[in-house]
Structure 1
Amino acid sequence: MIRNYFKTALRNLWKNKGFSAINIVGLAIGLATCLLILIFVMDEQSYDRYNKNADRIYRLDGEIKFGGNHFILAVAPAPAGPTLLRDYPEVLKEVRFRMNGGRLVKKGNQNIKEESVVMADSTLFEVFTLPMIEGDPHTALKDARTVVITEKIAKKYFDATNVVGRTLMINDSIPYKVTGVIKDIPAQSHFHFDFFLSLTESEEAKRSEDAWLSNNFNTYLLLQEGTDPKRFAAKLNKGIITTYIAPLLRSAVNISVDDFFKAGNTVGFSLTPLTDIHLHSNKTAELDANGNIQYVYIFSAIAAFILLIACVNFMNLSTARSASRAKEVGIRKVLGSLRGNLISQFMMESVVVSFIAMSLALGLAYLLLPVFNQLSAKQMEIGLFSRPWLLPAMVGLVLIVGVLAGSYPALFLSAFRPILVLKGHVAAGFKTSWLRNSLVVFQFCISIFLLVGTAVIYRQLQYIHNRELGFNRDQVLVINNPYVMGDEARVFKEKLLHLPGVEGATMTGYLPTSDNRNDDAIFESPDLDIKKSISMQTWPVDDQYIPVLGMKLSAGRNFSRDMKTDSNAVIVNEAAVRLMQGQKPLESKLYEIDDLKTKKLREYHIIGVVKDFNFNSLREVVTPVMLFLRPDDGRMALRVHSGNIHRLVGQMEDEWRKMAPSQPFTYIFMDEEFNNIYRSEQRMGGISLSFSLLAIFIACLGLFGLTAYAAEQRTREIGIRKVLGASVGGIISLLSKDFLRLVLVAMAIAFPLAWWAMHRWLQDFAYRITIGWEIFGVAALLAMGIALMTVSFQAVKAALANPVRSLRSE
């Protein structure tokens, strides 16, 4: 019986090749999309799960609200980890990371700039599962000037992995002994380092008494089995604040913890589960760019919707073909077929279509995976054999889709009454099917929703790209690491200023588009009144910083090298002025604690106010900044204007080679560095656009098929109308208006839902667009235009058909 069902299903599919192709292609695209998104979601949710004790590892995070700023940090004070290990039995192990920039590593006579460098405690391998190929994980980082490297780095610098005991020359002159080689860190990790330097040599890591108000160390705790993380977080918060932070507050600013909190300030700690970091953490000082759980939810919903659209196509086209299958059903029933047999027959057809579609979907998924990897910046694999559960899951999905898509057509067709069917009383059902119309509305509702969402994401990215930031990032070239030249860095700067095309240069590591930050507590009075304190970014700059970056002063003047008093002068931004209680900032003074133990103060006088400039992501508001005149050779920014930028960069590199022949010359344009901040949104926007187009394409496939059947069912009506004088335009309008009416209903439902969802998404940005009517207008025109083109193809074909052919059998 099953064999007979199968053969009959294949015959029916072959008999209606055109509409079978529409069904199969639609389902295949839906299933391929679903498979790709499933792999993406699995990849996102698998981060850090390679660690043996992943469910017991937590990161200690800090939170500070003080002086007008609110920081939620992925770092903690230096003594926090060792103190918790010593004082709290719940902590089994702890490890700290300290990020302070890349390092120059010598290979032969040349230095290579390596960015994936971190300092770590010797307990690294007791907390994280990082398999060691060579060396002893218990002793590898216990001594100063030792380093553990990854397998790829060992091959890069030594062409081998058995390199324990050999030496790497770091920062040109410091020898580090290689004490271990580990396997390359998995891609699904929230940190990716190739060099782990011993933290033993860091004096900063050993500070304890005065370091509790400074947060610089990514700290991880391995908790004892059975520990309740929420209760433990509350316990450690109370203990740390009472024992360590309260005495510092009393000593530094003469205030109690209670008064500190009553003033609206906050200081505290929280525990973030290791497996939550990638998708649920977007805090200051993350070790790597994390994902976003919202995108996982969005793409999962998109996958489900696209699959539903494909299933809806199948249901619509199958029920639309009721007229052509009605006589078949009637004859079968007259000859004794039971309804159950008919349902089994139609369900078999549906499952066969699903299996054919899945086979095609697998090919499509393999074909599209490189493009999807490029869009998502991942290296995913489908892994049918590496994931033993995936193939059975796909078979199960095929059966579910087959049953879901075929259930209604099977029940609908098998319910025909043979006497009415054989008298020809079925065709009218097509015109009055509320369910079919509802499904078409559902399809286009989803498509329009995705279209509006993609448009909003695109507009927001354009707004970010074109917004006035308070500085001019165009035509600014940034040279990295001029500090390698030592005292010659300023000579190098002067030489570049003489090159044609270089209009100005400033040297500092603190640029608006970099991630170098330094936050300090600044006071408006020498008595350190906490009510008159401001949490500010304090950046060392030179006198060319403001003009080279195109910033504007709203009051006062710029720094001057000719004025000795400018050594204690500062320029603040407008955000700082808004928080200052003094009415005249240019007549005000600011104070900074220079030495916490002696309470020695450093006094500054304000000489200028710079207009606010964005130095964080546009998700955050501009916070106070204080610029002061100090040499800093972290980076060099040059404003350039040249018709041949490649030639100019080549001349700069030539000058670099003359003065630092063994050091790498690296640069980036400031606008490119700015765009990198929003790379994630750009990728998600590209993926959303691709999926939106797929959804619309699948919906249009169904609409194309429905229009064809509508034209087929009304062939004689169209012929009579043409004989009676109806125009081609009138016929096209007759066939199109019903479908276009459904698209209008879909718009009325989709637009409010899309506005609500995208309004919620935009709340993550402090600076954002407003969702105007024009976005909905463009989406409406696109949806109507696409639907009209889809319907018109069949409508025109039917309108131009010779009426004699359709009426000759009457």
Structure 2
Amino acid sequence: MARLFHFRSFWNFLGRNKLFTAINIFGFAVSLMFVLLLGLYVQDELSVDSFHENKERIYRLEADDGAQFAPGLAPAMAARYPEIEAWTRVCTKDGYTLDPIAGYTDETVDAKILLTDSSFFSIFSFPFVEGNPATAMHTWDDVVLTESFARRLFGHEPAMGKMISTRGIDYTVSGVVRDFEHTHFRNPDMIVPIDNWLRSSKTTRSFLAGQMNTLNDNADILIYFQGRRNADLSARLDTAELNRCFKQELRLRRFVENISGNPHLNRLENIYLDRQDPGTRGNSPIYLLILGTTVLVILLFAVINYINLSVAQSGFRAQEAAMRLLLGSTRGQLFASYVTESLLICSVSFVLALLFASTVEPWFQNVLQTKVSLSEGATAENIAVVLAGVVTIGVASGLVPAYVLTRFKPIDVVRGTFRRKTKMVYSKVLIVFQYVITIVLIGCSVAIVRQLDFMRHSDLGFDTEQVVVCRNRCTAEQAAGFRDRLMQIPGVEVVSFAHTIPGVGDGSGRYIHTDIEGQFHGIWAYYVDTAYFPALGIEPLRETGQRQPDGSRIWLNRRAWNDLGLAPDAVEYTKGQEMRHKFIISGMVPDFSTSDFTEDTYSLLIHVSPDTETGYILIRLGGTDLYGTMDKIGELYNKEAGGNYFDGRFLQQEIDDMYRSQERMAQMIRTFSLLAILISALGMLAMSTYFMRQRAQEVAVRKVFGATDREVLVRLISGFLKLVAAAFVVAVPAIWYLMNGWLSGYAYRIPLSWTIFAAAGAVAFVIAFGTVLWQSLKATRANPVLAVRD
């Protein structure tokens, strides 16, 4: 009885065809490496917040313009809807400092604070390391620390019951919670009761209007509801019901005047991939889709290469197959044998993929800012899925070659006609497909890089290169003295204290009002000092010379001026139908970028006052030794603050950080593009090798009948370049469709220039030409006598 699989025969075949072996194993291994790593990454991103016990019943209140609401809205809604079992409010604050703790810390310590209600830990299942979620944060001076912050303060000693102080307020540690991971919340240092914090903090009282029953304040409060069991809260509180409640019962101004629209409840499981709000983190589902789709395409490249090379080899393996059939093997056994070969190559590649993945894992984690790893992802379920996937890929890759190698008749091999019947039709189609994807990836990569370059180097309307930004630790009384000491440092030209910095600060507020005709206007307000414009290099377009009665000045940007319908010579504006309150206009400034390029420029009201209470310091530098000057600023800053707290960075660095996620995507797309180019080039090299072997006799006959080496070379190369040309025709509309959709998310964008398509096509043609040139030269220079004799 004939054996099902001849391992020795297959081993000898691999040894005689080292290029075939290397390309297939390398292609599968690298592709599977990315499948493993990105599969774990996507799985991790899709399961954010899945560990909460009541995740199916937790919702967040949102609207079209964001998820921030007034603090009094949560209890007001709970009182009206019995389907709400529990609620909690969440707000994050940075820039708070803990006083030194006797016996533990000698210096003050910065802390990121999460303000919330005691119900937070009953709704969300964050595990406690010390204490009990049922008893934490139930008195006015309670505070819960995250584990890493507790270890930073107290080392390995228990933190429960210890005292900490900030801004003259003493708190008792009532619990230590494990660091927030795998959640849409950012990891805080301290969790503090929100209502008690407001009662005891004058500064925060102004931040959140100071009244917990406020309904019409624009505070950065996130509201979460937990529905009762067997109650469909999202169906009860749909958009129509929420609109009715907000407009008719609660009379929320944002909704009555249609400032905000489409209020709704968003399920906890959807928040991470839907949007980011203050104090939260998220990811783009489009980004995940692009990564997942691209890596699957790369895997498909490896499959295509295996099919192409196996089919190209069919003419040379036919004699072996005919012999096995004559010795008693059935076509079914022969078919299974070739599928088994594919499965073995894929299995060996999988082992190499594991080695490759463990090697590049640190790079992968750094690029995608993730902690996923092979060791943590090696669950029984994942292992079963991966093994099933490897088997599926191996079997699927071997089906076409097995079909081609088993459908011939042994007599064709004896006559020598089988090789002439293999015209590589499948291979040509698959090569075109490969190059379509390669050109698309190259084109998308070029477009993304150009958009990133455009965002980094566009005129934002203010200077960024020589401007240092840092957080302000001074009180209003200390600011003047600190400014004077900073100005004494050589190289410091301007020092400004500002509540908001374009693209960086989060201290702006939306100034909502109606004019005397009842028309609504929404303007964002910046609160800055008199040095703000010189620090950022902003030159006024128009000055009226007028001031407010208190001596402060109000400037409008060009967009706000036009939105309000002001005359060119206007010096005041009246708001409100009843109070008819007027503010005096000092002038107009140019529109400047207030966010990243995904959003259009806002209408701005800039309130300039010498004693503005601020959150940031802007320092404009001169001279050439910018970093030396920054070091001196840091020394003075730390001396004034009483610790190593200087966090100054150049404003350009802050602007670049806004596009960090796009940069990560661009880096991954570039990596995939290079990988696609490499796999396609290797596949083309091998295909040209076997193709030239099949056409050796044709080349010999043409040369015998007088064709020159140049003519034969052009004919051979042009056949492959025609395939690339066909791929280019198909790829151009695909690039346009994909990049036009991606760029539509930017208010300011590059045009889809013809040079993007030309660059992608040129790279593909150069790669294809260079890949087949060597084999074509060998074929044209070969002795035609040897080819005819063979």
Band the TM-score falls in, shorter-chain normalisation: over 0.9
Query: How far is the alpha carbon of 1:227 from its aligned partner?
Result: 3.1
Q: Are 2:564 and 1:567 aligned?
A: no
TM-score by length of 1: 0.90
Distance between the aligned counterparts of 2:383 and 2:421, measured in 1? 40
Q: Specify whether residues 424 and 406 from structure 1 end up closer, same or farther in structure 2 by C-alpha distance, changes over 3 A only.
A: same
SS at 1:138 equivalent: coil
**1:81-127, Cα deviation, whole Å (9 max, x unpaired):** 2222232121111111122333112343322323x321111111111
Q: Specify the alignment match of 1:243 in structure 2.
A: 249
Query: How far is the alpha carbon of 1:5 from its aligned partner?
Result: 3.9
Q: Specify the alignment match of 2:161 in structure 1.
A: 165
Q: Specify whether residues 274 and 746 from structure 1 end up closer, same or farther in structure 2 by C-alpha distance, changes over 3 A only.
A: same
Q: Among residues 556, 565, 570, which one is paired with 2:543 in the alignment? A: 556
Q: Specify the alignment match of 1:94 in structure 2.
A: 87
**1:689-709, Cα deviation, whole Å (9 max, x unpaired):** 101111121111111110000
RMSD in angstroms over aligned alpha carbons?
2.4
CA contact (8 A) 1:482 1:633 kept: no
Query: How far is the alpha carbon of 1:634 from its aligned partner?
Result: 1.6
Q: Specify whether residues 193 and 600 from structure 1 end up closer, same or farther in structure 2 by C-alpha distance, changes over 3 A only.
A: farther
Q: Specify the alignment match of 1:281 in structure 2.
A: 275
Within 5 Å, give how 1:348-427 maps onto structure 2. 348-383=340-375, 386-427=378-419
Q: Specify the alignment match of 1:490 in structure 2.
A: 480
Q: Specify the alignment match of 1:76 in structure 2.
A: 69
Q: Among residues 325, 328, 335, which one is paired with 2:327 in the alignment? A: 335
Q: Specify the alignment match of 1:625 in structure 2.
A: 604
Q: Specify the alignment match of 2:53 in structure 1.
A: 52
Distance between the aligned counterparts of 1:558 and 1:191, measured in 2? 46
Q: Specify the alignment match of 1:227 in structure 2.
A: 231
Gaps of 5+ in 1: 64-71, 250-255, 594-598
Q: Specify the alignment match of 2:757 in structure 1.
A: 776
Q: Specify the alignment match of 1:66 in structure 2.
A: none
Distance between the aligned counterparts of 1:653 and 1:21, measured in 2? 56
Deviation larger for 266-275 or 299-308: 266-275
Q: Among residues 418, 421, 424, which one is paired with 1:429 in the alignment? A: 421
What one-letter code is carried by the residue in structure 1 that aligns with 2:145? I
What one-letter code is carried by the residue in structure 2 that aligns with 1:153? F
Query: How far is the alpha carbon of 1:550 from its aligned partner?
Result: 1.4
Q: Among residues 523, 526, 532, which one is paired with 1:545 in the alignment? A: 532
Distance between the aligned counterparts of 1:724 and 1:534, measured in 2? 84
Q: Specify the alignment match of 2:132 in structure 1.
A: 136
What one-letter code is carried by the residue in structure 1 that aligns with 2:462? F
Query: How far is the alpha carbon of 1:800 from its aligned partner?
Result: 3.8
Distance between the aligned counterparts of 2:482 and 2:75, measured in 1? 44
Distance between the aligned counterparts of 1:796 and 1:36, measured in 2? 41
Query: How far is the alpha carbon of 1:779 from its aligned partner?
Result: 0.7
Q: Specify the alignment match of 2:266 in structure 1.
A: 272
Q: Among residues 491, 494, 498, which one is paired with 1:501 in the alignment? A: 491
What one-letter code is carried by the residue in structure 2 that aligns with 1:574? R
Q: Specify the alignment match of 1:69 in structure 2.
A: none
Query: How far is the alpha carbon of 1:803 from its aligned partner?
Result: 4.6
What one-letter code is carried by the residue in structure 1 that aligns with 2:66? L
Aligned residues: 771
Q: Are 2:216 and 1:212 aligned?
A: yes
Distance between the aligned counterparts of 1:605 and 1:717, measured in 2? 89
What one-letter code is carried by the residue in structure 2 that aligns with 1:319? V
**1:716-750, Cα deviation, whole Å (9 max, x unpaired):** 44345556665544343232111111011011001
Query: How far is the alpha carbon of 1:57 from its aligned partner?
Result: 1.0
Within 5 Å, give how 1:20-39 maps onto structure 2. 20-39=21-40
SS at 1:666 equivalent: coil
Q: Are 2:314 and 1:322 aligned?
A: yes
SS at 2:237 equivalent: helix
Q: Specify whether residues 445 and 641 from structure 1 end up closer, same or farther in structure 2 by C-alpha distance, changes over 3 A only.
A: same
Q: Are 2:661 and 1:674 aligned?
A: no
Distance between the aligned counterparts of 2:92 and 2:582, measured in 1? 30
CA contact (8 A) 1:212 1:244 kept: no
Q: Specify the alignment match of 2:178 in structure 1.
A: 183
**1:783-803, Cα deviation, whole Å (9 max, x unpaired):** 101111111132233334455
Q: Specify the alignment match of 2:518 in structure 1.
A: 530
CA contact (8 A) 2:73 2:215 kept: no
Q: Specify whether residues 95 and 427 from structure 1 end up closer, same or farther in structure 2 by C-alpha distance, changes over 3 A only.
A: same
What one-letter code is carried by the residue in structure 2 that aligns with 1:628? H
Distance between the aligned counterparts of 2:775 and 2:597, measured in 1? 48
TM-score by length of 2: 0.93
Query: How far is the alpha carbon of 1:31 from its aligned partner?
Result: 1.4
Gaps of 5+ in 2: 200-204
Q: Specify whether residues 434 and 26 from structure 1 end up closer, same or farther in structure 2 by C-alpha distance, changes over 3 A only.
A: same
Query: How far is the alpha carbon of 1:335 from its aligned partner?
Result: 3.1
SS at 1:271 equivalent: strand
CA contact (8 A) 2:503 2:596 kept: no
Within 5 Å, give how 1:734-749 maps onto structure 2. 734-749=715-730
CA contact (8 A) 1:44 1:188 kept: no
Q: Specify whether residues 490 and 391 from structure 1 end up closer, same or farther in structure 2 by C-alpha distance, changes over 3 A only.
A: same
What one-letter code is carried by the residue in structure 2 that aligns with 1:274? L
Q: Specify the alignment match of 1:576 in structure 2.
A: 560
SS at 1:651 equivalent: helix
Query: How far is the alpha carbon of 1:455 from its aligned partner?
Result: 1.0
Distance between the aligned counterparts of 1:104 and 1:592, measured in 2? 40
Q: Specify the alignment match of 2:192 in structure 1.
A: 197
Within 5 Å, give how 1:570-609 maps onto structure 2. 570-584=554-568, 586-591=570-575, 603-609=582-588
SS at 1:361 equivalent: helix
**1:235-280, Cα deviation, whole Å (9 max, x unpaired):** 344223322116x69xxxxxx94xx45xxx5455211111111112
Question: Percent identity of the aligned residues?
Answer: 27
**1:464-507, Cα deviation, whole Å (9 max, x unpaired):** 11111111112100121232x55122111122223221121211
**1:283-316, Cα deviation, whole Å (9 max, x unpaired):** xx34234200001111111122111111011111
SS at 1:468 equivalent: coil
Q: Specify whether residues 56 and 424 from structure 1 end up closer, same or farther in structure 2 by C-alpha distance, changes over 3 A only.
A: same
Distance between the aligned counterparts of 2:555 and 2:337, measured in 1? 81
Q: Specify the alignment match of 1:459 in structure 2.
A: 450
SS at 2:263 equivalent: strand
What one-letter code is carried by the residue in structure 1 that aligns with 2:108? N
Q: Specify the alignment match of 1:252 in structure 2.
A: none
Q: Specify whether residues 420 and 488 from structure 1 end up closer, same or farther in structure 2 by C-alpha distance, changes over 3 A only.
A: same
**1:515-551, Cα deviation, whole Å (9 max, x unpaired):** 22211124444xxx431x3211112212221122112
SS at 1:616 equivalent: coil
Q: Specify whether residues 592 and 624 from structure 1 end up closer, same or farther in structure 2 by C-alpha distance, changes over 3 A only.
A: farther
Distance between the aligned counterparts of 2:227 and 2:463, measured in 1? 48
SS at 2:283 equivalent: coil
